[in-house]
Amino acid sequence: MDDKKILFSAIQPSGILTIGNYLGALRNFKKLQDDYNGIFSLADLHTLTVKQDPQVLRKNTYELAALYLACGIDPEKSILFAQSHVPAHTELAWVLNTIAYPGELSRMTQFKDKSKKHEDNINMGLMDYPVLMAADILLYQTELVPIGADQKQHLELARDLAIRFNNRFGETFKVPEGYIGKTGARVMSLAEPERKMSKSDANLNAFISMDDDTDTIIRKFKRAVTDSDNKIICAPDKPGITNLLTIYSLFASVSIEDAEKEFEGKGYGDFKLKVGEAVASVIDPIRQEKNKLLADKSYLDDVLSQGADRAARLAYRTLGKVYKKVGLVPRKRG
Ligand code: ATP
Ligand code: LTN
Q: Rounded to the nearest 10 degrees, how much is the dihedral formed by the CA atoms of 23, 46, 50, 287?
A: 40
Instruction: Please compute the mean of the pLDDT values over residues 263-276 and round it to a whole number.
Output: 95
Confidence of residue 227 (pLDDT cuts 50, 70, 90): confident
Phi-psi label, residue 79: left if phi above 0, alpha if psi -120 to 50, beta otherwise: beta
Phi-psi label, residue 32: left if phi above 0, alpha if psi -120 to 50, beta otherwise: alpha
pLDDT score recorded for residue 283: 97
pLDDT score recorded for residue 229: 83
- The active-site residue, picked from 30, 174, 199, 222, is 199
Phi-psi label, residue 195: left if phi above 0, alpha if psi -120 to 50, beta otherwise: beta
Within 13-154, strands assigned E span: 37-42, 79-82, 144-146
Helix H or strand E encompassing 303: helix 297-326
pLDDT score recorded for residue 241: 96
For the Cβ of 147 lying below 6 angstroms from any atom of ligand 1, the answer is: yes
Supply the residue whose CA is at minimum distance from atom 4 of ligand 2: 10
Using the predicted structure, report yes or no on whether residue 2 has a pLDDT greater than 80: no
Ligand 1 nearest-atom number relative to CA 196: 27
Within the chain, strands assigned E span: 6-11, 37-42, 79-82, 144-146, 177-179
The tens digit of pLDDT for each residue in 41-98 reads 999 999 999 999 999 999 999 999 999 999 999 999 999 999 999 999 999 999 999 9
Using the predicted structure, report yes or no on whether residue 302 has a pLDDT greater than 80: yes
Neighbour order of strands in the sheet with 144-146: 79-82, 37-42, 6-11, 144-146, 177-179
- Say how many CA atoms lie within 13 Å of 175 toward its Cβ: 12
Among residues 248, 257, 282, the alpha carbon closest in space to that of 30 is found at 282
What phi and psi values does residue 258 have, to the nearest 5 degrees? -65, -35
Largest CA distance in the chain: 78
What is the amino acid identity at position 283?
I
Q: Are 82 and 76 a contacting pair, CB within 8 Å? A: no
- Which residues contact ligand 2 via a Cβ below 6 A? 8-12, 43, 46, 133, 136-137, 145, 147, 151, 154
pLDDT score recorded for residue 144: 98
Rounded Cα distance between 258 and 253, Å, is 10
Is 196 part of the annotated catalytic residue set? yes
Helix H or strand E encompassing 292: helix 268-294
Confidence of residue 230 (pLDDT cuts 50, 70, 90): confident
pLDDT score recorded for residue 333: 86
pLDDT score recorded for residue 31: 93
pLDDT score recorded for residue 200: 83
Instruction: Please compute the mean of the pLDDT values over residues 185-200 and round it to a whole number.
Output: 94
What phi and psi values does residue 209 have, to the nearest 5 degrees? -85, 155
For the Cβ of 21 lying below 6 angstroms from any atom of ligand 1, the answer is: yes
Mean pLDDT of the chain: 96
Helix 109-117 / helix 124-138 crossing angle, nearest 10 deg: 140
Supply the residue whose CA is at minimum distance from atom 14 of ligand 2: 11
